[in-house]
């Protein structure tokens, strides 16, 4: 499927906000877009107040004009619905729709961000403006795809207003049918919280002590669903007029409130926004992790990098600017990991408002700036990479990513503040990145049989069926690596009957008699000379054997790392926080034992391969200060020059090498797509 009609090359461009500029500036911008090789811009994302100045009265003048100019210039448009910023009239007319925070503050107008996702007025008004736009522009020659809303879940997601409380009660009735089932699922006999009527149930607002944790978890699920219903309302309104792809921009690893596994099924193409955490020196590794999760959400189909920045953002404590070459490395890393489009926030830097200090493709300083020159160069490089379009990334190693586990583990009163699903995922991902291993992310319920090794870092919440799925994977020959505090609770945050780790006891061949969290600065030594922090367990071995034991600490003499053979597979358990080289050794042992082949690149070199119908494209992205050797020979896709065995990628540079391959190696985990490829 050509997922963006009419497109033969990679897409390049960004958000464009013409409403902030006079018409002469549009003409200049369009000429500059052509200079930079821009072929796709997202328009209209925050234009509701202009398009519908009074309720039900529309004025499409500016949009008609700019879309006409862009069509004339051959620049395609991803048309936004403006519903992430309802106009002043909406806030005035519908005060009951105003969002309310968990601690009871009502938020007002004057910024951006939507109102209560459960407000019937918002649902109606947002579907109406989407309908108007689609009716008018479905057949417009510039409009090739649709961008609903902006970053659902940001800047706020959950609202504790009256509409949300009523919708939550209804959502709970659908989930549990009877109050008896709900009372049991939430364990309401604890602290005397039993409910006798549905309307006694409130949103879990701030309370005297810790709120019912199952209730909070359900409120997260409800919020994700309420936002999804808003998306679906708009999507369906647009779909009545067009078959063009419809999407909304995700924030893969950075959205705490939305279950993207569920959402991914509802968009035609996955689009993602990613911003570096400027002060982290390993932010390129986190970028890779975000891109790998995005590709996984896309079922390994190509995806759109909908937003990133050319240089500094404006909303972090210290907004460190990107240095020469960094923007290109960031962009290429996304492409290497499956993006077929590289877009920025935004084309021209804003002079007014909250984002005037945010970088853009065209900075305030204009076309003489380093940023603009690099933008033009990147546009030309991406044009040179057209044959990469549609090729796929293949991974034989996966990490489990479960948003429900994040939600649950982040609630209060856990055995240690050091516990974190995200922290452990980053640690394992970083070890794999350093070894040059490309990783997919998986949901615990999906078929895992195509992976040689699956890592489950601090997978705290694990539903019974998902635990059974993981057990099946191992018994059928898979290799599993589980780190501490996994399988601790079921889907309602309840401790399953018997010893921890619940549904993982059999597959790991052990049980945990007691959690033994460590002091803040404490480290424990292991018999294999590694050291652990933060956590340890008192393990009782069943069928598992100890790979390493504790030399000291509260579990001295007891197993620290174990391995269990189960069926034709094996499962490792790591009961403490290993870091740096220690974690890398553990990961290496697990990969080697599973027979995974990989070539660890030199420090700081990122190597990823995409595979097309007849060629492999190996991306070398050098984040280090020294030149680095290449590991394949072939042709440099950008220069056309042959690449010999002695070739290298310069410090800070990128090279993409094409080498022939035999046939389609396009792996997909999407059954529907697998059928269409075969
Ligand atoms: C994104 C948002 C954009 C812009 C950008 C700045 O989260 O979608 O509209 O605000 O951040 O970094």
DSSP string, 268-317: SS-EEE----TT-TTHHHHHHHHHHHHHHHTTTS-EEEEE--SS--SSSS
Return the best residue to mutate from 273, 315, 343, 353 for the ligand 1 pocket (most ligand atoms within 8 A of CB): 273
Alpha carbon nearest to ligand 1 atom 12, residue: 313
Tell me the pLDDT band of 8, cut-offs 50, 70 and 90: confident
Mean of the per-residue pLDDT values of the chain: 95
Query: Is 151 tagged catalytic?
Result: yes
Q: How far is CA 286 from the centre of its chain?
A: 11
- What's the Rg (C-alpha) of the chain? 26
Ligand 1: centre distance to CA 483 (Å): 34
Residues 213-234 have pLDDT tens digits of 999 999 999 999 999 999 999 9
Residues 387, 8: contact at Cβ < 8 Å? Answer: no
- Closest ligand 1 atom to residue 275 Cα is 12
Closest to 336 (Cα-Cα) out of 607, 602, 631, 603? 607
Tell me the pLDDT band of 5, cut-offs 50, 70 and 90: low
Q: What is the pLDDT of residue 1?
A: 38
Element (H, E) at 481: strand 479-483
Q: What is the pLDDT of residue 4?
A: 58
Kindly report which listed range (444-458, 525-539, 600-614, 662-676) carries the lowest average pLDDT score. 662-676
Ligand 1: centre distance to CA 413 (Å): 33
Percent of the chain at pLDDT exceeding 90: 95
Ligand 1: centre distance to CA 235 (Å): 21
Q: Is the pLDDT of residue 596 over 50?
A: yes
Average confidence (pLDDT) over 640-650 = 94
Ligand 1: centre distance to CA 315 (Å): 9
Ligand 1: centre distance to CA 345 (Å): 6
Ligand 1: centre distance to CA 659 (Å): 38
Distance CA 334, CA 338 (A): 7
Catalytic residue among 19, 28, 55, 151: 151
Average confidence (pLDDT) over 15-23 = 97
Q: Is the pLDDT of residue 255 over 90?
A: no
- Closest ligand 1 atom to residue 154 Cα is 7
Q: What is the pLDDT of residue 256?
A: 85
Residues 499-534 have pLDDT tens digits of 999 999 999 999 999 999 999 999 999 999 999 999
Alpha carbon nearest to ligand 1 atom 4, residue: 345
Closest to 572 (Cα-Cα) out of 504, 480, 484, 505? 480
Catalytic residue among 307, 404, 426, 606: 307
Average confidence (pLDDT) over 608-630 = 97
Q: What is the pLDDT of residue 678?
A: 26
Q: Tokens 């909304």 belong to which residue?
A: 248
Name the pairing type of β-strands 559-566 and 545-549. antiparallel
Ligand 1: centre distance to CA 42 (Å): 13
Alpha carbon nearest to ligand 1 atom 5, residue: 345
Closest to 609 (Cα-Cα) out of 392, 296, 286, 384? 392
Return the best residue to mutate from 14, 17, 355, 361 for the ligand 1 pocket (most ligand atoms within 8 A of CB): 355
Burial (CB count within 10 angstroms: exposed 0-12, middle 13-18, buried 19+), residue 494 = middle
Q: What is the pLDDT of residue 84?
A: 97
Return the best residue to mutate from 41, 84, 319, 345 for the ligand 1 pocket (most ligand atoms within 8 A of CB): 345
Q: What is the pLDDT of residue 673?
A: 39
Three-class SS state of 60: coil
Query: Is 52 tagged catalytic?
Result: no
Distance CA 378, CA 364 (A): 19
Closest to 662 (Cα-Cα) out of 626, 595, 628, 616? 616
Q: What is the pLDDT of residue 114?
A: 86
Burial (CB count within 10 angstroms: exposed 0-12, middle 13-18, buried 19+), residue 561 = buried
Enumerate residues 6+ apart whose C-beta is below 8 A from 372.
36, 361, 362, 363, 365, 366
Distance CA 425, CA 444 (A): 14
Tell me the pLDDT band of 309, cut-offs 50, 70 and 90: very high
Residues 252, 287: contact at Cβ < 8 Å? Answer: no
Strand-pairing partners, residue 145, are 78
Tell me the pLDDT band of 6, cut-offs 50, 70 and 90: low
Ligand 1: centre distance to CA 308 (Å): 8
What residues line ligand 1, using a CB cutoff of 6 Å?
150-151, 154, 273, 275, 307, 313, 345, 355, 358
pTM: 0.97
């Amino acid at each position: 499927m050509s997922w963006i009609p009419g497109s033969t090359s990679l897409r390049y461009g960004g958000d464009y906000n013409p409403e902030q500029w006079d018409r002469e500036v549009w003409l200049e911008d369009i000429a500059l877009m052509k200079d930079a090789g821009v072929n796709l811009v997202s328009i209209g994302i925050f234009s509701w107040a202009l398009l519908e100045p009074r309720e039900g009265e529309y004025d499409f003048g500016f949009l008609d004009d700019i879309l006409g100019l862009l069509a004339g210039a051959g620049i395609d448009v991803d048309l936004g619905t403006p519903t992430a910023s309802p106009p002043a009239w909406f806030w005035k007319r519908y005060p009951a729709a105003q969002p309310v925070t968990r601690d009871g503050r009502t938020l007002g107008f004057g910024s951006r961000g939507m109102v209560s996702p459960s407000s019937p007025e918002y649902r109606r008004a947002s579907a109406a403006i989407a309908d108007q736009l689609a009716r008018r522009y479905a057949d417009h020659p510039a409009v090739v795809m649709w961008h609903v809303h902006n970053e659902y879940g940001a800047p706020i997601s959950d609202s504790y207003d009256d509409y949300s409380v009523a919708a939550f009660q209804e959502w709970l009735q659908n989930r549990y049918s009877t109050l008896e089932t709900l009372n049991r699922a939430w364990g309401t006999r604890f602290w005397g919280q039993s409910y006798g009527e549905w309307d006694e149930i409130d949103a879990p607002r701030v309370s005297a002590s810790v709120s019912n944790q199952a209730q909070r978890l359900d409120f997260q699920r409800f919020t994700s669903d309420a936002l999804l219903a808003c998306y679906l309302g708009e999507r369906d309104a647009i779909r009545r007029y067009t078959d063009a792809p419809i999407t909304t921009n995700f924030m893969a690893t950075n959205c705490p409130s939305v279950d993207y596994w569920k959402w991914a099924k509802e968009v035609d193409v996955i689009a993602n926004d990613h911003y570096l955490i400027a002060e982290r020196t390993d932010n390129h590794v986190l970028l890779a992790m975000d891109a790998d999760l995005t590709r996984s959400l896309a079922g390994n189909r190509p995806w759109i990098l909908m937003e990133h920045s050319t240089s500094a953002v404006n909303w972090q404590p210290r907004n460190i600017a990107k240095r020469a070459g960094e923007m290109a490395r960031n962009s290429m890393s996304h492409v290497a990991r499956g993006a077929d489009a590289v877009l920025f926030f935004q084309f021209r830097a804003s002079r007014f408002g909250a984002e005037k200090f945010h970088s853009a493709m065209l900075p305030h300083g204009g076309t003489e700036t380093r940023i603009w020159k690099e933008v033009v160069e990147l546009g030309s490089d991406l044009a040179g990479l057209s044959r990469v379009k549609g090729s796929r990334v293949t991974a034989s190693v996966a990490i489990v990513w479960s948003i429900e586990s994040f939600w649950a583990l982040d609630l209060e009163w856990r055995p240690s503040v050091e516990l974190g699903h995200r922290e452990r995922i980053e640690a394992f991902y970083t070890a794999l990145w350093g070894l040059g291993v490309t990783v997919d992310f998986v949901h615990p319920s999906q078929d895992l049989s195509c992976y040689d090794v699956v890592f489950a870092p601090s997978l705290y919440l694990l539903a019974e069926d998902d635990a059974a799925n993981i057990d099946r994977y191992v018994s059928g020959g898979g290799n599993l690596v589980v780190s501490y505090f996994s399988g601790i609770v079921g889907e309602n945050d309840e401790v399953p009957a018997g010893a921890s780790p619940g549904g993982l006891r059999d597959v790991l061949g052990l049980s945990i008699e007691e959690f033994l969290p460590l002091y803040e600065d404490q480290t424990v030594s292991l018999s294999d000379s590694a050291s652990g922090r933060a956590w340890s367990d008192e393990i009782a071995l069943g069928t598992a054997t100890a790979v390493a034991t504790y030399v000291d600490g509260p579990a001295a003499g007891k197993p620290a790392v174990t391995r269990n053979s189960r069926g034709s597979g094996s499962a490792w358990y790591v009961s403490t926080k290993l870091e740096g080289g220690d974690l890398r050794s553990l990961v290496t042992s697990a990969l080697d034992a599973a027979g995974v082949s990989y070539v660890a690149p030199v420090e700081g070199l990122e190597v990823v391969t995409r595979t097309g119908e007849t060629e492999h494209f190996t991306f070398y992205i050098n984040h280090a200060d020294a030149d680095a050797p290449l590991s394949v020979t072939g042709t440099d896709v950008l220069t056309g020059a042959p690449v010999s065995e002695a070739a290298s990628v310069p410090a800070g540079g990128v090279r993409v090498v094409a080498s022939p391959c035999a046939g389609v190696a396009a792996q997909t985990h999407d059954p529907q797509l697998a059928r269409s490829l075969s």
